[in-house]
Protein backbone atom coordinates (compact mmCIF):
# COMPACT_ATOMS: atom_id res chain seq x y z
CA UNK A 1 0.00 0.00 0.00
CA UNK A 2 1.34 3.45 -0.89
CA UNK A 3 0.93 5.57 2.23
CA UNK A 4 2.08 8.70 0.40
CA UNK A 5 -0.98 8.54 -1.85
CA UNK A 6 -3.34 7.84 1.06
CA UNK A 7 -1.97 10.80 3.02
CA UNK A 8 -2.10 12.95 -0.11
CA UNK A 9 -5.76 12.03 -0.69
CA UNK A 10 -6.58 12.94 2.92
CA UNK A 11 -4.78 16.28 2.62
CA UNK A 12 -6.60 17.08 -0.64
CA UNK A 13 -9.96 16.22 0.96
CA UNK A 14 -9.31 18.42 4.02
CA UNK A 15 -8.14 21.36 1.91
CA UNK A 16 -11.18 21.10 -0.38
CA UNK A 17 -13.42 21.12 2.68
CA UNK A 18 -11.79 24.46 3.56
CA UNK A 19 -12.82 25.81 0.15
CA UNK A 20 -9.59 25.31 -1.79
CA UNK A 21 -9.19 24.35 -5.41
CA UNK A 22 -6.60 21.57 -5.36
CA UNK A 23 -4.61 20.31 -8.36
CA UNK A 24 -2.33 17.29 -7.94
CA UNK A 25 0.42 15.98 -10.18
CA UNK A 26 1.02 12.24 -9.78
CA UNK A 27 0.03 12.52 -6.12
CA UNK A 28 3.39 13.98 -5.07
CA UNK A 29 3.07 17.65 -6.03
CA UNK A 30 -0.01 19.59 -5.11
CA UNK A 31 -1.14 23.15 -5.91
CA UNK A 32 -3.69 24.65 -3.51
CA UNK A 33 -5.66 27.79 -4.41
CA UNK A 34 -7.91 29.90 -2.20
CA UNK A 35 -9.98 32.90 -3.20
CA UNK A 36 -10.97 34.80 -0.06
CA UNK A 37 -12.65 38.19 -0.06
CA UNK A 38 -10.16 40.47 -1.84
CA UNK A 39 -7.20 38.10 -1.83
CA UNK A 40 -6.03 35.07 -3.79
CA UNK A 41 -3.65 32.74 -1.97
CA UNK A 42 -1.77 29.86 -3.58
CA UNK A 43 0.49 27.16 -2.18
CA UNK A 44 2.49 24.31 -3.60
CA UNK A 45 3.49 21.36 -1.49
CA UNK A 46 5.38 18.20 -2.26
CA UNK A 47 5.29 14.86 -0.48
CA UNK A 48 8.67 13.27 0.20
CA UNK A 49 9.52 9.58 0.37
CA UNK A 50 9.56 9.99 4.15
CA UNK A 51 5.94 11.16 3.93
CA UNK A 52 6.83 14.73 4.89
CA UNK A 53 5.20 17.75 3.31
CA UNK A 54 7.31 20.68 2.07
CA UNK A 55 5.06 23.73 1.75
CA UNK A 56 5.68 26.97 -0.15
CA UNK A 57 3.32 29.88 -0.49
CA UNK A 58 3.25 31.23 -4.04
CA UNK A 59 0.68 34.07 -3.79
CA UNK A 60 0.26 36.84 -2.77
CA UNK A 61 4.07 36.66 -2.48
CA UNK A 62 6.46 33.70 -2.32
CA UNK A 63 7.41 32.35 1.09
CA UNK A 64 8.91 29.04 2.13
CA UNK A 65 6.64 27.76 4.88
CA UNK A 66 8.67 24.72 5.90
CA UNK A 67 8.36 20.97 6.42
CA UNK A 68 5.40 19.28 8.06
CA UNK A 69 5.32 15.70 9.30
CA UNK A 70 1.55 15.30 9.47
CA UNK A 71 -1.39 16.24 7.31
CA UNK A 72 -3.04 17.96 10.26
CA UNK A 73 0.01 20.19 10.80
CA UNK A 74 0.05 21.09 7.10
CA UNK A 75 -3.66 21.90 6.99
CA UNK A 76 -3.56 23.82 10.29
CA UNK A 77 -0.65 25.93 9.04
CA UNK A 78 -2.51 26.75 5.83
CA UNK A 79 -5.68 27.61 7.78
CA UNK A 80 -3.69 29.89 10.13
CA UNK A 81 -1.89 31.52 7.20
CA UNK A 82 -5.16 32.10 5.30
CA UNK A 83 -6.77 33.65 8.39
CA UNK A 84 -3.79 35.99 8.91
CA UNK A 85 -3.61 36.99 5.24
CA UNK A 86 -7.38 37.54 5.04
CA UNK A 87 -7.17 39.83 8.03
CA UNK A 88 -4.06 41.60 6.71
CA UNK A 89 -5.72 42.19 3.34
CA UNK A 90 -8.09 44.61 5.10
CA UNK A 91 -5.18 46.92 5.89
CA UNK A 92 -4.57 50.01 3.78
CA UNK A 93 -0.90 48.97 3.85
CA UNK A 94 -1.48 45.46 2.43
CA UNK A 95 -0.54 46.33 -1.17
CA UNK A 96 2.65 47.98 0.03
CA UNK A 97 3.59 44.98 2.21
CA UNK A 98 3.05 42.62 -0.74
CA UNK A 99 5.15 44.89 -2.96
CA UNK A 100 7.97 45.06 -0.39
CA UNK A 101 7.97 41.26 0.01
CA UNK A 102 8.21 40.84 -3.75
CA UNK A 103 11.16 43.27 -3.78
CA UNK A 104 12.89 41.26 -1.06
CA UNK A 105 12.37 38.07 -3.08
CA UNK A 106 13.96 39.75 -6.11
CA UNK A 107 16.88 40.84 -3.93
CA UNK A 108 17.40 37.23 -2.79
CA UNK A 109 17.45 36.18 -6.45
CA UNK A 110 19.95 38.93 -7.35
CA UNK A 111 22.18 38.04 -4.39
CA UNK A 112 22.17 34.38 -5.43
CA UNK A 113 23.01 35.34 -9.02
CA UNK A 114 25.79 37.63 -7.79
CA UNK A 115 27.28 34.80 -5.72
CA UNK A 116 27.07 32.21 -8.49
CA UNK A 117 28.21 34.31 -11.44
CA UNK A 118 30.56 37.02 -10.20
CA UNK A 119 33.73 37.36 -8.19
CA UNK A 120 32.62 40.07 -5.77
CA UNK A 121 35.31 41.98 -3.84
CA UNK A 122 35.34 41.47 -0.08
CA UNK A 123 34.70 45.18 0.63
CA UNK A 124 31.55 45.14 -1.50
CA UNK A 125 30.32 42.01 0.30
CA UNK A 126 30.95 43.64 3.67
CA UNK A 127 28.97 46.69 2.53
CA UNK A 128 26.08 44.47 1.41
CA UNK A 129 26.23 42.62 4.73
CA UNK A 130 25.99 45.89 6.68
CA UNK A 131 23.02 47.06 4.60
CA UNK A 132 21.19 43.75 5.07
CA UNK A 133 21.90 43.79 8.81
CA UNK A 134 20.47 47.32 9.05
CA UNK A 135 17.31 46.27 7.23
CA UNK A 136 16.95 43.24 9.48
CA UNK A 137 17.40 45.39 12.62
CA UNK A 138 14.76 47.84 11.36
CA UNK A 139 12.22 45.08 10.68
CA UNK A 140 12.86 43.33 14.01
CA UNK A 141 12.66 46.70 15.78
CA UNK A 142 9.25 47.35 14.25
CA UNK A 143 8.00 44.01 15.60
CA UNK A 144 8.88 45.24 19.08
CA UNK A 145 7.47 48.76 18.67
CA UNK A 146 4.23 48.22 16.73
CA UNK A 147 1.01 46.91 18.29
CA UNK A 148 0.38 43.23 17.58
CA UNK A 149 -2.72 42.26 15.61
CA UNK A 150 -5.06 39.95 17.51
CA UNK A 151 -7.38 37.76 15.46
CA UNK A 152 -10.54 36.60 17.15
pLDDT at 105: 94
Phi and psi at 50, nearest 5°, equal: -85, 10
Q: Which CATH architecture has domain 3-88?
A: 2-Layer Sandwich (3.30)
Q: What pLDDT digit, counting tens, does each position of 6-65 carry?
A: 566 777 788 888 888 887 766 678 899 999 778 999 999 998 878 889 999 999 999 999
Average pLDDT of span 136-150: 93
pLDDT at 1: 43
What single string gives the DSSP state of each residue in 39-52?
Answer: EEEEEEEEE-TTS-
Q: In angstroms, rounded to a whole number, what is the distance separating the alpha carbons of residues 33 and 31? A: 7
pLDDT at residue 152 is higher than 80: no
pLDDT at residue 92 is higher than 50: yes
The structural domains of the chain, with segments of one domain joined by +, span: 3-88, 94-145
Residue 4 — very low, low, confident or very high, per pLDDT cuts 50/70/90? low
Cα–Cα distance list, 68 to 5, 10, 51, 121 (Å):
16, 14, 9, 39
Amino acid sequence: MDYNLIDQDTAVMLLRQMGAKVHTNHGLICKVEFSKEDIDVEYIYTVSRKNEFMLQRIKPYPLGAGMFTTINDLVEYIKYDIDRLSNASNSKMFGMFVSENKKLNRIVYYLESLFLHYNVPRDDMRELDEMIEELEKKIVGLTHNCPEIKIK
